[in-house]
Amino acid sequence: MVKNLRISFGLPTPILATNILTIDPGSRAIGTAYFEDGELVLSKEIKSSSKFLTCRLDNILTSICENYLTAKPDVIVIEFGGQIRFKGRDPHGIRVHDYAAGYISSGLSAFFQKPLVLIPPTTWKSNKPKNLLTRQISLEFNREIGEDEAHAIALGLWYLRQVKLNQLTVSA
């Protein structure tokens, strides 16, 4: 049972935290990143090849919990909803993405007992092409990083910037 669950959509006022677990969800692979005191500690791309969606998501959720067992996030930030809806975008794919995000977010909130912040992709990455964002993160961390992992890192960096901006505004 999740006690005192706090879910925040968008980012009118960020939860002021520098220990964050960020998730870029998908139905076959998921990007994860954990920041402690504002610094990237661990990031991974977790995949499952199971034939059935719920089995894949269970495998991914279990892997996240195992990989981040010692993590102490103050908040879990997940890309969710608000998919860019332009011509040619597969509506079924959007629903599957949102289902995966919901499934993973509810499992993580129960595991960590921490608030969720659900961020639409249009809020944190605008319309920046995926390959450009992935390349920027790979260059910034001086290693080859997969797309899902890079997006989880970029989401975490974006959130930390929002927290810093909010702290500056609050303290001014």
Q: Which domains does the chain have, with CATH numbers?
A: 7-171 (3.30.420.10)
Q: Are 31 and 147 in contact (CB under 8 A)?
A: yes
Q: Which pLDDT does position 125 carry in this prediction?
A: 79
Q: Which pLDDT does position 19 carry in this prediction?
A: 93
| 34: DSSP letter | E
Q: Which helix (H) or strand (E) element contains residue 124?
A: helix 121-124
Mean pLDDT, contiguous 10-residue spans, the chain (172 residues): 48 71 89 95 93 91 92 91 54 74 88 88 79 90 93 94 75 46
Q: Are 141 and 162 in contact (CB under 8 A)?
A: no
- pTM beyond 0.95: the answer is no
168: CB partners within 8 A, 6+ apart: none
Q: Which pLDDT does position 12 carry in this prediction?
A: 46
6: CB partners within 8 A, 6+ apart: 15, 115, 116
